[in-house]
Amino acid sequence: MTPIDELECYLTELTEVLGHADRHAGLKDYCRGLLLPIARKSIEPIAAHLDPERVQAKHQALHHFVAKSPWSDEAVLRKVREIVAPHLALDEACYWIVDETGIPKQGRHSVGVARQYCGQVGKNENCQVAVSLSLASEKGSLPIAFRLYLPEAWANDPERRNKAGVPETVTFATKPEIALSQISEALAAGVPPGVVLADAVYGDTTHFRDQLTAWGLRYAVAVREATTVWPPGVEPLQPEPYTGRGRPAKNLRRSPGHEPVSVKALALSLPQSAYRTVTWREGSNGVLRSRFAAVRVRAAHRDYWRSTLREPEWLLIEWPETESEPSHYFLSTLPETYSLTQLVHTVKMRWRIERDYRELKQEVGLGHYEGRNWRGFHHHATLTIAAYGFLLLQRLKDPDKKNRALSKAPPLPQGYIPRGSPKSTTPRTRLDRNDSLLDCPTHRPAASEVSLLRESA
């Protein structure tokens, strides 16, 4: 089959979970639009390219499907996972990658928008932030859950919630809480369990790590330099001996001179011989390597409220040779038998999520949605993941094949001017409409005439 034929089969499978047949065309058209080689992948340019002779009608149909139609994001994402996951070779190695992505926005009305840290620009910015869970292997990775983080100012503002269509069941949740909810749902759905990887936003939260352990999941997560641990061979003191008066003491304790240390202090106290250079993969600009050390520690956060010791785990420290101090710290419950090279390889698997987000934004327009409501935001994100899933599937089936679109995007209608163009002086309704065309039969491009997009890497 040609890539166009394979896309049609793939999209047909996805439509099985939409609930109503009248939604099928919306999913297929929108995903085709996301795969077109066009610069902007919001509803208006997609409509203009897919149906140049009836832009307004196509725009209205796509807008209804994305912003208003009550189909299930979870069902579509589950179907994408069921199609793609068998090709990931998860039986060889499996990782669950937790992360977030920021989408810069203007104004204050788009759902969840606030001034907060945006990874895309590397600083605090007006943006939306979404938390995701990706299923990954050595071959590739796929987001399987995606949820907007709703800041407290939004969660506690009934007027803004109502205007943006935020469901009543959605309350404020921290990013680690959202991630735990996604992981819980993945476990319930029978997703093959993997080592959980996450940055310090999640890994530095003790409850997040403890809950993963309670669920039987191993983790390798980043923590901040101030995180405290008990060094090798040192642990909390046992409860005070019972004196015969009052209730027996149950909690572990500390004493002056017998206290945990920060991971940074521990890293600086290690001899230079503890650090070894490890290479973990070939990057686009050459071999990736750095210096690492690994020691067995016990996490110390509020263990004076506990009656039992936490289990020992790995502290992995990265200290590049060119740096004056360590740059990264990781806690991991991977087996004690793991080598330093295996530990490094595992934590560095997080690079896959960076590739996911780069391609989701650059190739299929994750950040291009221009609507403001909760449903539209999540529907657009789900459909971009569906489109990305197809590109990933093509790459997994034939890693050496360069899949390229067989044709160019359909031409725009003559005189078309995108929304917001400074050259536009024509009333908005006239740009999307040609009354003479609407009153007579028109030719609509068949699915096979719509191109796929790009050369996949």
| Confidence (pLDDT) at 165 | 98
Listed residues 315, 333, 351: the one ending a domain: 333
What range does the domain containing 450 cover? Answer: 1-71+402-457
282 inside domain: yes
17 inside domain: yes
CA distances (Å), origin 138, targets 61, 89, 351: 40, 8, 11
| Confidence (pLDDT) at 301 | 87
| Confidence (pLDDT) at 435 | 33
Per-residue pLDDT tens for 345-367?
Answer: 999 999 989 989 999 999 999 99
**Mean pLDDT lowest among 125-129, 177-181, 281-285, 414-418:** 414-418
Cα gap 177→202, rounded to integer Å: 9
Same-domain status, 329 and 424: no
Are 383 and 31 spatial neighbours (Cβ–Cβ below 8 Å)? yes
Same-domain status, 235 and 315: yes
Looking at residue 237, the DSSP 8-state letter turns out to be B
Confidence of residue 428 (pLDDT cuts 50, 70, 90): very low
Are 47 and 54 spatial neighbours (Cβ–Cβ below 8 Å)? no
- Which run of H or E residues covers position 47? helix 43-50
328 inside domain: yes
Same-domain status, 233 and 322: yes
For residue 85, the tally of other CB atoms under 10 A from its CB is 18
- Please name the residues in contact with 272: beta carbons below 8 A apart, sequence gap of 6 or more: none
Cα gap 47→53, rounded to integer Å: 10
Q: What is the pairing mode between strands 219-223 and 123-136?
A: unpaired
Rounded to 5°, angle at Cα 150 from 145 and 152: 145
Same-domain status, 409 and 323: no
Judged against a pLDDT cut of 90, whether residue 252 lies above it is answered with no
User: Reduced to 3 states, what is the DSSP secondary structure of residue 15?
Assistant: helix
Q: Which whole number is the average pLDDT over 268-285?
A: 93
Quote the percentage of the chain above a pLDDT of 70.
Answer: 86
313 inside domain: yes
Same-domain status, 324 and 410: no
Same-domain status, 228 and 328: yes
Same-domain status, 312 and 228: yes
40 inside domain: yes
356 inside domain: no
> What does the block give as tokens for 296?
């067995």
The residues with which 317 forms a beta bridge, in sequence order, are 293, 329
Would you say the C-alpha torsion 289, 295, 301, 306 has a positive or negative sign?
Answer: positive
Torsion of CA 8, 9, 10, 13, to 10 degrees: 120
Listed residues 333, 366, 384: the one ending a domain: 333
| Confidence (pLDDT) at 285 | 80
The alpha carbon of residue 142 and the mean position of all alpha carbons in its chain are separated, in whole angstroms, by 9
In this structure, which long-range contacts are made by residues 114-121, counting pairs with CB atoms below 8 Å and at least 24 apart in sequence?
Answer: 114/151, 114/153, 114/154, 116/151, 120/361, 120/367
Confidence of residue 385 (pLDDT cuts 50, 70, 90): very high
157 inside domain: no
Domain count, the chain: 2
419 inside domain: yes
Pure H helices in 96-255 = 152-155, 158-164, 175-188, 200-203, 206-214
Residue tagged 């990264």 (tokens)? 328
Cα gap 100→118, rounded to integer Å: 9
Spatial CA neighbour of 129 closest among 145, 151, 109: 151
Per-residue pLDDT tens for 309-321?
Answer: 889 999 999 999 9
Spatial CA neighbour of 58 closest among 426, 454, 437: 437
Listed residues 306, 333, 360: the one ending a domain: 333
- Please name the residues in contact with 50: beta carbons below 8 A apart, sequence gap of 6 or more: 29, 32, 33, 36, 58, 410, 445, 450
Judged against a pLDDT cut of 90, whether residue 432 lies above it is answered with no
Residue tagged 């785990």 (tokens)? 313
Same-domain status, 414 and 309: no
Cα gap 114→105, rounded to integer Å: 9
pTM above 0.75, yes or no: yes
